Structures are given as C-alpha cells and as structure tokens.
Amino acid sequence: MVTLKDIAQRAGVSSMTVSRVMNGNTKDVSRKTSERIRKIADEMGYVPNSSARSLASHSSRLIAALLQEYDEDRNPLEDSYTSCFLGELAHQIKEEGYDLMLHYVKDYSEITYSLKSWNVAGAVFIGMFDESIRKLQEDNQIPLVFTDSYSTVRSITNVGIDDYRGGEMAAEYFLKCGHRNLAFFGPEVLDNGVVTHRIRGFVSVLREAGISLPSENFINLGTENLGERLKGICAGENPVTGIFTTADYCAYQIYSEAYRVGLRIPEDLSVAGFDDLSMSALMTPPLTTIRQDIKKKASVTCDLLMKNIREPDSPAENIVLGVELAERGSVRKVDNPFSIL
C-alpha cells in the first residue's frame, strides 16, 4: 500500500505537502512541487485511504441509502420503482464524487448504528420511515432526505409527488371516458402513505360527480382468486368497467388474472396504474397510468442532499413533484348516454 509518507520520501518533502497536493489545494503549494508530486503519486499508484481520512477529518464522502425491508421474502429491489430510483440516485451520487452504501433496514436501531458507524455525510430514506423520523433526526445530526413521506413532523427534508392529484387525474380520466362504475385495487391501507392519498384524490373526484365506491369494489392486494373476484364485479346488473390500481405492479397483476379468467383489457375491464414504470408501455395493451418522473425525483433528492451537506443550516424543504397522465391503451371509451363530461 502506498501512503502519503511513501510519496513524501520519494519527493523529498513532508507528507503534509503531499496531502495538500492530493486534496487539490493548489494555491498552498508551489506549482512546481505540486506537479512533481502528482506525477510521483501517479507512478506509485497512490490511492488515498478513506478510512484514515474519515477518522482524521471527522467527515466522509459517503452517502447511505436506506431501504425498508418489510418482509423476509419480498426484496425491496425487486420492485422496479425502488430499483429505478436507487439506480438513478447511485448515478447522481457518483457524479458528486461520493460513495454509496446500501442498507437494508428492518429495525429502527439498525439505522442509527450504520449511519454512525461509518460516519456518513448524509442519508436517503427509501420506503416508509414515518414513525421513526423524529427520533432519526434527533439521533443523527447529519442531512437526512426522506422520500414520499407524509409524516406530521414539520421540519423534514422530503421529496415526494402529488399523489392526491394523481388520484384525481385517474378518476377524471375514467369519467371522461364514460366510466361510471369503478373499482380499486391495491394494498390494504393502514398507514398515511402515498396509497392513502392516491385513493383519496380518486374518491374525491368520483364523489363530486355523484359516484360512490361501494366497499366491495375495494379489492386488496393479495386477494385469493383475484381473477374470479374480477369476473364477479364485471358481471351482473351494474358491472364495474374500470379499475384503478395504486401502482403499476398492481396493474400487472390485474392483467395477469384478467387474462387467466378470460377478461379482456380494455374491452371487458379498463385498467389504470400509477408510476409509469418502464414495463408499462410494453404491456398488452400498453398501460394507461399516472406518470411520476422517478429519475427526476432521484436527482432532486441528490441535489437536496448535497445542498444540505454543503450548507448544514439549510432550512427543511418538502419538494412535491408533479404527475401527469400517460394515456395509452388500457382504458376504453364507454358509450354512456348519461355522460356529463
């Protein structure tokens, strides 16, 4: 291993001079020695020891990405939303000259431990951490950026999207296409997260149009015999013609089950998703969905983090990105004589 000392000896200077050069403090060192030292360092293949740096300077160029690990066998990175976000974040963080640690988190206690242990410069939270935010902020006096949080904690740096508006847009679109009897498919909502807001927006528009969703039209993720259930609600006197899912991956399940039981999309059942993952445009038929710009979200997250690292007294910011309708082929136009839109 090549150290500052090794280079210093070869160059006939002190290791401090080498340190200065390696850190790019060009004005503190004469141009001549600076260039000479740089050359020697290159020749010797010098690589600075990040641990030593971190130890001596009480700071590191390390960012931690924390992924909520809900459940042993559901790997967070199998969700395309998460992997897309993380991928873009990793890219951005590299551009900034920082390194990235990936942490799966089950218990709260693990978080502070890993952040402190490596003396990270900042952290990004991907998933639901709302319950621990206050404590997290108290225990870790470093920049923390949350995503998609609806925590009641006011002073929080967060990047999210307009989930409520997205729900509204989905409902508006269904109405515009003449649908009057709709259903909903997604995780059973217990928390105050993105799903809740998407539904609320969706329901609010329907209510304003005088349409209510009976509770049997709320189908839970993980429902057994989903296909049969779908067939059931699409039959009868007042059949459901469209279903709103809170995430594209839920829509994919609808596609699959619909195919299994012979329900055609969109002829027999229209489907709208949320996210616009890259798969959605490739589905048969292409999925109509509410698009969020995941890459933008990641780059905004990174920007915010860097800003907070460079100016530790930056005020808390909650950035809300817009959403838009990606109109494709999974919602059909219904001939509806009573259409008012």
Partner DNA sequence: TTGTAAGCGTTATCAA
Partner DNA sequence: TTGATAACGCTTACAA
What does the binding site for DNA look like in residue numbers (CB under 7 A)?
1, 3-5, 12-17, 19-20, 22-23, 27-30, 32-34, 46, 48-49, 52-53, 55-58
| 153 sits near a copy of itself (criterion: CB under 8 A) | no
Single residue of 68, 114, 137, 318 touching a copy of itself by CB under 8 A: 114
Stretch that binds a copy of itself, among 96-104, 190-198, 219-227, 229-237 (CB under 8 A): 96-104
Tokens representing 139 are: 């225990």
Residues 6+ apart with CB under 8 A from 34: 21, 26
- 278 binding partner (options DNA, a copy of itself, none; Cβ < 5 to 8 Å by kind): a copy of itself
- 16 binding partner (options a copy of itself, DNA, none; Cβ < 5 to 8 Å by kind): DNA
DSSP string for residues in 282-312: GSSSPPEEEE--HHHHHHHHHHHHHHHHHST
Whose tokens are 């296409």? That residue is: 177
Site string for a copy of itself, 294-323 (x = CB under 8 A): ------------------------------
DSSP string for residues in 128-141: --GGGHHHHHHH--
| 223 sits near a copy of itself (criterion: CB under 8 A) | no
Stretch that binds a copy of itself, among 8-16, 71-79, 177-185, 204-212 (CB under 8 A): 71-79
Stretch that binds a copy of itself, among 29-37, 143-151, 215-223, 254-262 (CB under 8 A): 254-262
- 69 binding partner (options DNA, a copy of itself, none; Cβ < 5 to 8 Å by kind): a copy of itself
Stretch that binds a copy of itself, among 18-26, 94-102, 125-133, 220-228 (CB under 8 A): 94-102
CB of 104 to a copy of itself, least distance (A): 5
CB of 50 to DNA, least distance (A): 8
| 44 sits near a copy of itself (criterion: CB under 8 A) | no
Decide: helix, strand or coil at residue 263: coil
CB of 210 to a copy of itself, least distance (A): 34
Single residue of 6, 10, 87, 325 touching a copy of itself by CB under 8 A: 87
Single residue of 3, 9, 15, 75 touching a copy of itself by CB under 8 A: 75
Query: Using CA atoms, how far apart are residues 172 and 189, in angstroms rounded to an integer?
Result: 22
- Cβ neighbours around 206 below 10 Å, total: 22
Closest CA to 326 of 281, 295, 282, 296: 281
- Spell out the alpha helix ranges (H) of the chain: 4-11, 15-22, 31-44, 50-57, 80-95, 108-117, 133-139, 163-176, 194-208, 226-233, 248-260, 294-310
Phi, psi (degrees; rounded to nearest 5) at 27: -75, -20
- 100 binding partner (options DNA, a copy of itself, none; Cβ < 5 to 8 Å by kind): a copy of itself
- 219 binding partner (options DNA, a copy of itself, none; Cβ < 5 to 8 Å by kind): none
Whether residue 69 contacts residue 104, with contact meaning beta carbons closer than 8 Å, is answered with: yes
For CA atoms 295, 299, 301, 302, give the dihedral sign.
positive
Query: Using CA atoms, how far apart are residues 148 and 318, in angstroms rounded to an integer?
Result: 10
Which phi-psi region, left, alpha or beta, contains residue 119 (left: φ > 0; alpha: ψ -120 to 50)? left
Residues 6+ apart with CB under 8 A from 32: none
Contact positions vs a copy of itself (CB under 8 A): 1, 47-52, 54-55, 60, 65, 69, 75-78, 80, 83-84, 86-88, 90-91, 94, 99-104, 112-114, 116-119, 252-253, 255-256, 259, 265, 278-279, 281-286
